[in-house]
Structure 1
Amino acid sequence: MVNLTLEKDDKRTYIKDLDLIPVYRLKFYEKGKLHVKTITLDKLDKYNEKINSEDLKYILEVSKEINNKNSIEVSNLK
């Protein structure tokens, strides 16, 4: 997901601030019913038992990569 702030002046509209928010789409069956949840990392612990260890490792690695790229200079996006 992306959280961004747009700003407008007399001549243009531009991105003032940009945050990338890693999410994970979790699919699991509970009591015979399919559940699909889109969760952010801060909610990952709540569903930890429904995510296998390989997927969890992948989620954390990709999230770390995204957070490292999140330091993009917003001024370069104008």
Structure 2
Amino acid sequence: MTYILQDLAARYSTKASLIEIGKSQGGKSLWAMALSEYAPNQHILLRPEVKYIGNMHGNEVVGLEVLLDLIEYILRSIDKEV
């Protein structure tokens, strides 16, 4: 998953930021991806923000797969009429 997120952040560097938000109990990086033309810590007044979470539980992999597909879909579609 890390490689997929790093690849998306590299391919869409003006629209996606990959942020390490901590470590798991096993010492693995926990990642967040911000999709915006603004810096991840720049919040625009009256502009809605949404947070999606995948893999709430480690044995539920479908949420992660769907979320990765959604991220890529949004990034590919961001400059198009969808």
Higher helix share: 1
Higher relative contact order (CA 8 A, sep 6+): 1
Higher strand share: 1
Tell me the TM-score normalised to structure 2 length.
Answer: 0.33
Larger Rg: 1
